[in-house]
Amino acid sequence: MVVNADERGGGDTVEMLLRMNRRALAVLSLLIVFLGATAMAMALWPDTPLAEWPLRFPLLFPIAVLLAFFSLRFFGGGREFRADAAEVKVILNDDFRRANLLRAQRIALVLILIAQVPLGVLFMRVQPTRAVIGMGGTTIALGVSAVILLFLFFDRE
Amino acid sequence: MDELELRNTLKVERAIRNLTQAELGELAGVTRKSVNAIETGRMVPSVLLALKLARALGVSVDAIFSLAGGEEAVAQPPQNVHS
């Protein structure tokens, strides 16, 4: 039996949610790259403004996150979506998105492993505590941002 | 052995029913991007999604999806195991 699509509605909502999701992921990846750069600067160049901002302006990052959250909601029309809404389920269970996410995760894992060598060389000359913080922060930031950016790349039109 | 390739007539079946990719996606419970990716051969759908698409279009899975290439291997009937 063929179901009439017009009776169901919600296609535009799914498209809008997808666009919002892409925007949110792009913003999130920028924030993570910024945090990774900060962790790297704290270990390698502790006297630079990039390394000092968390100490000077500790509330800056939470405020930036809140601003990003509310601006994304504003551009998304300010609509509320429950996690169990039908449109959200469609997106979460979408085959193409799942396949792209798995692909992105696999490639990001390889990138992280390869990146350990140059990161190790880079952090070799600093104190062990700083090296651990720097390498940890950079690796996490690199991994998460790589997953997000690769996913956005594979998930494009 | 020849490489087997999944072909589909999703675009044709959709056009016959005058459905957009978004509408078909909605009927099958996936996004328009999934439908587009299958139509353009960028993604091989899962069995579940193939069944959902077939149901949404009111046809059998065979009517939409078929294997191309390696005909010799596919066309041969299975050997009779009984003596």
Nearest residue in chain B measured CA to CA from A154: B42
Phi and psi at residue A68, to the nearest 5°: -60, -45
Domains identified in chain B, total number: 1
- CB contact, 8 Å: B31 with chain A? yes
pLDDT at A3: 42
Query: Which sign does the torsion angle of CA A60, A61, A62, A64 carry?
Result: positive
Question: Is B81 a domain residue?
Answer: no
pLDDT at B34: 92
pTM: 0.78
Domain range enclosing B13 = 5-67
Q: Which residue has the higher pLDDT, B50 or B80?
A: B50
Percentage of residues of chain A with pLDDT beyond 90: 35
Question: Is B17 a domain residue?
Answer: yes
Q: Cβ(A36)–Cβ(A145) under 8 Å?
A: yes
Chain B 63-82, CB below 8 Å of chain A: which residues?
none
Q: Which residue has the higher pLDDT, B9 or A70?
A: B9
Q: State the nearest Cα–Cα gap between B26 and chain A, in angstroms.
A: 6
One-character DSSP codes across A128-143: HHHHHHHHHHHHHHHH
pLDDT at A59: 87
Phi and psi at residue B11, to the nearest 5°: -65, -40
Nearest residue in chain A measured CA to CA from B13: A2
Q: What confidence tens digit (pLDDT) does each residue in B24-77 have?
A: 998 998 999 999 999 998 899 999 999 999 999 999 999 999 988 755 545 555
pLDDT at B53: 94
Segments of chain A with pLDDT less than 50: 1-9
Give per-residue burial for A15-33: e unless 16+ CB within 10 Å, then b.
bebbebbeebbebbbeebb
pLDDT at B52: 93
pLDDT at B71: 55
Whether the ipTM is more than 0.95: the answer is no
Mean pLDDT of B1-30: 88
Nearest to B5 by CA among B73, B63, B70, B74: B70
Q: State the nearest Cα–Cα gap between B70 and chain A, in angstroms.
A: 26
Question: Is B79 a domain residue?
Answer: no
Token reading at B66: 């078929």
User: Residue A5 and residue B49: Cβ atoms within 8 Å?
Assistant: no
Q: For position B39, which CATH number holds? A: 1.10.260.40
For the cut 60, the answer to whether the pLDDT of residue B21 exceeds it is yes
Q: What angle do CA A100, B5, A153 make, to 5 degrees?
A: 20
Sort out which chain B residues have CB atoms less than 8 A from A90's CB and list them: 25-26, 29-31
